[in-house]
Amino acid sequence: MPLVLLILILSVFTFSVFLLKIVFPPWNFPRNIPTIPFYTVFLPSILKIDQIELYETYIKESLEKHGAVKIFFGSRWNILVSRPEYLTQIFRDENTFAKSGNQKKIPHSVLAAYTGDNVISAHGEVWRTYRTIMTTPLQQFDDTPFQKNAKLFCKLIEKQVSPHSSVVDVSVSPLIQKLTLDNISQVLLGFDFGTLTQDSVPLHQKLTEIKRQIFHPLFLTFPFLDRLPIPERQKSFREVENFRNILVNKVQEELIKNYQFEQTKFASSELIKAFNNNIINYKQLSDNIVILLVAGHENPQLLLTTLLYLLAKYSGTWQNDIYEEVVKITNYDDLSNAVTLNAFIFEAIRFYPPLNTIINRCTTKTCRLGNDITIPKNVYVGYNNYYATHDKRFWGSTADEFDPRRWGTDMDTMMKQWRRHKTDSSMTSFHGGKRACLGEKMALVEMRVTLWELLKRYKFTLSPNWKEQFTPAGPLCPVNLQLNFQDRTRDEFEIIPNSSA
């Protein structure tokens, strides 16, 4: 047989095997749950639909009927779970459904190089070590920067809504990112990112650049491509490493060189102490500093974007009601007892869970999910938060309606409801079980304070020029949100038409 023909046959065979692995799930996957067609994951890029539309059209029916499906994502077939009782089993059986983050799932990827091995994705003794170090600073923190930064956030908006400006539409997404970056850097990392007070921050610019590279749709869907010597991705690896070094050096400069880590209780300070005591190594120190920045600003950014969207959408009702409540509050410590404000935040988290689809657990042995779904060893299992928080068996016939009143009319009732829904896994936005999010308390304080300051100053509505659309996959929030702001502190407000309208 000629060599050229042999090479051609081998190439066709290799491609066919590769194609079959994409099109069909492995033979040992459970047969009694549906398979979502492999091409579904590509539809948002092709049809320009968001993940809510994708879910409603292509996934919802199968998930509602079976509670679990087979789905292709991240170069592999996975089991995606939605039924709260299944989620409760997963959360409780940490040893069987073990956390397995990007550092294990796709260790060769740019994304794994970015986040590393950290308190969110680690498992077993390593995770317990991280948790011991970081629980206290994540639960007991100085929240005063939240109020200061919320005021600066309002000032950034003020620059764009001045009556002397021709700009009406305000793109709030970049401003929200600046706010959450400064919040997390000052509350957990021990330094000021400076994005709210400076027009150009090199560290912020680098972060923006590498996020565009990391979350490129093609490489997220097929992370195996990062194994190939693609110049673009090799550059991404270098830039990720450079960013990580700059960030850790910044923490060192602020906390180590002047020994501030010995007197402070920042999460970064505790990590430095653990490193100095040989409890963790330098890479573990770096990985956890990076994840504090990543999760600590991205997740609040998603939630705050959704909150502003919903407040603008219901500007004549809920926004007015919350304003009437919070304008009477003079001490932000009292915000935790603001019934309408907290009910609105809880309902926003339920209705649009910031992290919607999460696939980061891997079975350590063959196991049974529920009564009849047998899952082989080494299979990745994820969950769909949107379905769990819209399950009518737990939320009633109005599950698909946005209604903060469902939480109750007093804080005791609301908190009991909140805890109950977290316990039965119908509220999974902050995950569950032993691996429940350590930053829940901090995120809620950050939201309350920001909305308090913003609503006292502004009334806002959705821009008529903004096309309502949500993110295409994974994290869930409105895309490129644009709002119109009216300053409540002025007697009159004249909207000057946008010159581009």
Q: What percent of the chain has pLDDT over 70?
A: 91
Check whether 154 is labelled as a binding-site residue: no
DSSP 192-226: ---TTT-S--HHHHHHHHHHHHHT-HHHHH-GGGG
| Cα–Cα distance for residue pair 10/491, rounded to 1 Å | 77
Average pLDDT of the residues in 305-325: 97
Residues 6+ apart with CB under 8 A from 187: 141, 142, 143, 145, 146, 266, 442
What are 5-64's pLDDT values in tens digits?
Answer: 666 666 665 556 556 667 788 999 999 999 999 888 888 878 888 899 999 999 999 999
Tell me how long the chain is. Answer: 501
Q: What is the CA radius of gyration of the chain?
A: 24
pLDDT category, 288, cuts 50, 70, 90? very high
Lowest pLDDT segment from 61-75, 205-219, 381-395, 396-410: 205-219
User: What pLDDT does residue 501 have?
Assistant: 30
What are 427-478's pLDDT values in tens digits?
Answer: 998 988 888 899 999 999 999 999 999 999 999 999 999 999 999 888 899 9
What SS3 state is found at 361? strand
What single letter denotes the amino acid at residue 27? Answer: W
What SS3 state is found at 73? strand
Average pLDDT of the residues in 203-218: 82
Token code pair at residue 277:
């005591």
Helices (H) and strands (E) in the chain — how many of each? 21, 10
| Cα–Cα distance for residue pair 121/101, rounded to 1 Å | 4
| Cα–Cα distance for residue pair 59/71, rounded to 1 Å | 10
Q: How far is CA 66 from CA 6, 357, 418, in A?
A: 46, 17, 26
**SS3 string of 445-499?**
HHHHHHHHHHHHHEEEEECCCCCCCECCCCECCECCCEEEEEECCCCCCCCCCCC
| Cα–Cα distance for residue pair 75/19, rounded to 1 Å | 11
Query: Does residue 191 carry a pLDDT above 60?
Result: yes
Task: Enumerate the β-bridge partners of residue 470.
Answer: 478
95: burial class by Cβ within 10 Å (0-12, 13-18, 19+)?
Answer: exposed
Q: Using an 8 Å Cβ cutoff, are 381 and 90 in contact? A: yes
Q: Using an 8 Å Cβ cutoff, are 168 and 496 in contact? A: yes
Q: Using an 8 Å Cβ cutoff, are 40 and 54 in contact? A: yes
Q: Hey, where are the domains in the chain?
A: 100-355+390-427+429-487
Describe the strand order of the beta sheet including 458-462 as a list of residue ranges.
169-171, 482-487, 458-462
Query: Does residue 496 carry a pLDDT above 90?
Result: no
What single letter denotes the amino acid at residue 368? Answer: R
| Cα–Cα distance for residue pair 25/111, rounded to 1 Å | 24
Query: How many CA within 13 A on the CB side of residue 308?
Result: 30
Q: Please, what's the b/e burial string for 55-69 (b: 16 or more CB within 10 A of its CB; e: otherwise)?
A: beebbbebbeebbbb
* CA 59 from centre of chain: 21
User: What pLDDT does residue 493 have?
Assistant: 43
Describe the strand order of the beta sheet including 380-384 as a list of residue ranges.
68-73, 76-81, 380-384, 357-363, 97-99
Average pLDDT of the residues in 201-208: 86
| Cα–Cα distance for residue pair 446/448, rounded to 1 Å | 6
Whose CA is closest to 364, among 93, 1, 14, 98? Answer: 98
| Cα–Cα distance for residue pair 87/478, rounded to 1 Å | 26
Query: Does residue 210 carry a pLDDT above 50?
Result: yes
What are 257-278's pLDDT values in tens digits?
Answer: 655 556 678 999 899 889 989 9
Q: Which phi and psi (to 5°) does residue 150 adopt? A: -65, -35
User: What pLDDT does residue 495 have?
Assistant: 41
| Cα–Cα distance for residue pair 462/313, rounded to 1 Å | 6
Element (H, E) at 239: helix 231-251
| Cα–Cα distance for residue pair 289/335, rounded to 1 Å | 30
Q: Does domain 100-355+390-427+429-487 have CATH number 3.30.70.1140?
A: no
Q: Whole-number mean pLDDT of the chain? A: 88
Residues 6+ apart with CB under 8 A from 15: none
pLDDT category, 208, cuts 50, 70, 90? confident
Q: Which phi and psi (to 5°) does residue 121 adopt? A: -105, -10
User: What pLDDT does residue 169 have?
Assistant: 83
Between 178 and 11, name the one with better pLDDT. Answer: 178
Query: Does residue 500 carry a pLDDT above 50?
Result: no
Average pLDDT of the residues in 197-217: 84
User: What pLDDT does residue 80 have?
Assistant: 96
User: What pLDDT does residue 34 have?
Assistant: 96
User: What pLDDT does residue 491 have?
Assistant: 46
pLDDT category, 120, cuts 50, 70, 90? very high
Average pLDDT of the residues in 138-142: 92
Residue 9 burial (CB count, 10 A): 11
Q: Using an 8 Å Cβ cutoff, are 151 and 453 in contact? A: yes
Whose CA is closest to 84, among 434, 423, 350? Answer: 423
